[in-house]
Amino acid sequence: MRMLLADVVLVLHFGIAAFIVDGMAAIWLGVWRRWDWVRNYRLRLAHLAAIGFVAVEGVLGITCPLTVWEDWLRRGGGESSFVARWVQRLLYYDLPEWMFAVAYVVMALLAALTWRLAPPMRRS
Protein backbone atom coordinates (compact mmCIF):
# COMPACT_ATOMS: atom_id res chain seq x y z
CA MET A 1 0.00 0.00 0.00
CA ARG A 2 2.86 2.38 0.82
CA MET A 3 4.40 1.89 -2.64
CA LEU A 4 1.07 2.70 -4.27
CA LEU A 5 0.79 5.88 -2.19
CA ALA A 6 4.38 6.75 -3.10
CA ASP A 7 3.47 6.37 -6.78
CA VAL A 8 0.45 8.65 -6.29
CA VAL A 9 2.65 11.30 -4.63
CA LEU A 10 5.22 10.96 -7.44
CA VAL A 11 2.59 11.39 -10.17
CA LEU A 12 1.13 14.39 -8.31
CA HIS A 13 4.63 15.87 -8.07
CA PHE A 14 5.17 15.32 -11.78
CA GLY A 15 1.81 16.94 -12.51
CA ILE A 16 2.79 20.07 -10.59
CA ALA A 17 6.14 20.26 -12.40
CA ALA A 18 4.35 19.81 -15.75
CA PHE A 19 1.85 22.52 -14.80
CA ILE A 20 4.71 24.93 -14.11
CA VAL A 21 6.78 24.18 -17.22
CA ASP A 22 4.01 23.44 -19.71
CA GLY A 23 1.87 26.19 -18.22
CA MET A 24 4.52 28.78 -19.02
CA ALA A 25 4.79 27.52 -22.59
CA ALA A 26 0.99 27.51 -22.94
CA ILE A 27 0.73 31.06 -21.59
CA TRP A 28 3.30 32.37 -24.10
CA LEU A 29 1.70 30.48 -26.96
CA GLY A 30 -1.75 31.60 -25.85
CA VAL A 31 -0.75 35.24 -25.67
CA TRP A 32 0.73 34.99 -29.16
CA ARG A 33 -2.37 33.16 -30.48
CA ARG A 34 -4.73 35.44 -28.51
CA TRP A 35 -6.34 32.63 -26.52
CA ASP A 36 -8.55 34.14 -23.83
CA TRP A 37 -8.12 31.32 -21.34
CA VAL A 38 -4.42 32.07 -20.78
CA ARG A 39 -5.46 35.38 -19.23
CA ASN A 40 -7.57 33.61 -16.59
CA TYR A 41 -6.68 35.25 -13.27
CA ARG A 42 -6.96 32.12 -11.10
CA LEU A 43 -4.94 30.01 -13.50
CA ARG A 44 -2.19 32.59 -13.70
CA LEU A 45 -2.17 33.16 -9.94
CA ALA A 46 -1.89 29.42 -9.32
CA HIS A 47 0.96 29.21 -11.84
CA LEU A 48 2.85 32.15 -10.33
CA ALA A 49 2.33 30.82 -6.79
CA ALA A 50 3.53 27.34 -7.76
CA ILE A 51 6.78 28.50 -9.36
CA GLY A 52 7.26 31.08 -6.60
CA PHE A 53 7.01 28.35 -3.95
CA VAL A 54 9.48 26.15 -5.84
CA ALA A 55 11.92 29.05 -6.31
CA VAL A 56 11.85 29.90 -2.59
CA GLU A 57 12.47 26.24 -1.74
CA GLY A 58 15.42 26.17 -4.13
CA VAL A 59 17.01 29.36 -2.80
CA LEU A 60 16.61 28.25 0.82
CA GLY A 61 17.89 24.74 0.04
CA ILE A 62 14.65 23.12 1.23
CA THR A 63 13.80 19.71 -0.16
CA CYS A 64 10.35 19.64 -1.69
CA PRO A 65 7.81 18.21 0.78
CA LEU A 66 6.48 15.90 -1.95
CA THR A 67 9.97 14.43 -2.45
CA VAL A 68 10.35 13.92 1.31
CA TRP A 69 6.91 12.29 1.52
CA GLU A 70 7.59 10.00 -1.44
CA ASP A 71 10.99 8.97 -0.05
CA TRP A 72 9.43 8.21 3.33
CA LEU A 73 6.72 6.07 1.71
CA ARG A 74 9.27 4.13 -0.37
CA ARG A 75 11.61 3.37 2.54
CA GLY A 76 12.06 -0.38 2.77
CA GLY A 77 9.39 -0.97 0.16
CA GLY A 78 11.38 -3.00 -2.32
CA GLU A 79 11.42 -2.54 -6.08
CA SER A 80 9.77 0.49 -7.68
CA SER A 81 6.82 0.10 -10.00
CA PHE A 82 6.97 0.62 -13.76
CA VAL A 83 5.21 3.99 -13.38
CA ALA A 84 7.61 5.12 -10.66
CA ARG A 85 10.71 4.21 -12.68
CA TRP A 86 9.56 6.21 -15.73
CA VAL A 87 8.18 9.21 -13.90
CA GLN A 88 11.30 9.43 -11.74
CA ARG A 89 13.44 9.52 -14.89
CA LEU A 90 11.39 12.46 -16.17
CA LEU A 91 11.27 14.34 -12.86
CA TYR A 92 14.64 13.81 -11.15
CA TYR A 93 18.04 14.70 -12.59
CA ASP A 94 21.51 14.19 -11.14
CA LEU A 95 22.72 17.79 -11.19
CA PRO A 96 24.09 20.13 -8.50
CA GLU A 97 21.37 21.71 -6.36
CA TRP A 98 22.48 25.24 -7.21
CA MET A 99 21.60 24.62 -10.87
CA PHE A 100 18.03 23.80 -9.91
CA ALA A 101 17.81 26.88 -7.68
CA VAL A 102 18.99 29.11 -10.53
CA ALA A 103 16.56 27.50 -12.97
CA TYR A 104 13.65 27.90 -10.51
CA VAL A 105 14.45 31.56 -9.85
CA VAL A 106 14.79 32.30 -13.58
CA MET A 107 11.45 30.58 -14.22
CA ALA A 108 9.80 32.55 -11.39
CA LEU A 109 11.18 35.83 -12.75
CA LEU A 110 9.96 34.86 -16.20
CA ALA A 111 6.49 34.11 -14.80
CA ALA A 112 6.44 37.48 -13.03
CA LEU A 113 7.59 39.25 -16.20
CA THR A 114 4.92 37.43 -18.20
CA TRP A 115 2.34 38.54 -15.62
CA ARG A 116 3.48 42.13 -16.18
CA LEU A 117 3.70 42.02 -19.99
CA ALA A 118 0.58 39.91 -20.54
CA PRO A 119 -1.49 40.51 -17.40
CA PRO A 120 -4.33 38.20 -16.44
CA MET A 121 -7.86 39.53 -16.50
CA ARG A 122 -10.48 39.16 -13.83
CA ARG A 123 -14.01 38.41 -14.89
CA SER A 124 -16.37 41.33 -14.51
Q: Is residue 124 part of a domain?
A: no
Q: Is residue 122 part of a domain?
A: no
Which residues span the domain enclosing 21? 2-117
Q: Is residue 19 part of a domain?
A: yes
Q: Is residue 80 part of a domain?
A: yes
Q: Is residue 123 part of a domain?
A: no
Q: Is residue 67 part of a domain?
A: yes
Q: Is residue 110 part of a domain?
A: yes
Give the chain's mean pLDDT: 91
Task: Write out the E strands in the chain.
Answer: none
- Asked which of 24-38, 41-55, 77-91 is least confident by mean pLDDT, the reply is 77-91
* Structure confidence at residue 87 (pLDDT): 82
Q: Is residue 11 part of a domain?
A: yes
The closest of 13, 37, 32, 28 to 110, measured between CA atoms, is 28
The three-class DSSP label of residue 81 is coil
* Structure confidence at residue 69 (pLDDT): 93
pLDDT at 76 over 90: no
| 79-107 pLDDT per residue, tens | 677 777 778 878 887 888 899 999 999 99
Over residues 19-48, the mean pLDDT reads 97
Structurally, the chain folds into a number of domains equal to 1
Contact 17, 50 (CB under 8 A): no
pLDDT at 78 over 70: no
More confident residue, 9 or 80: 9
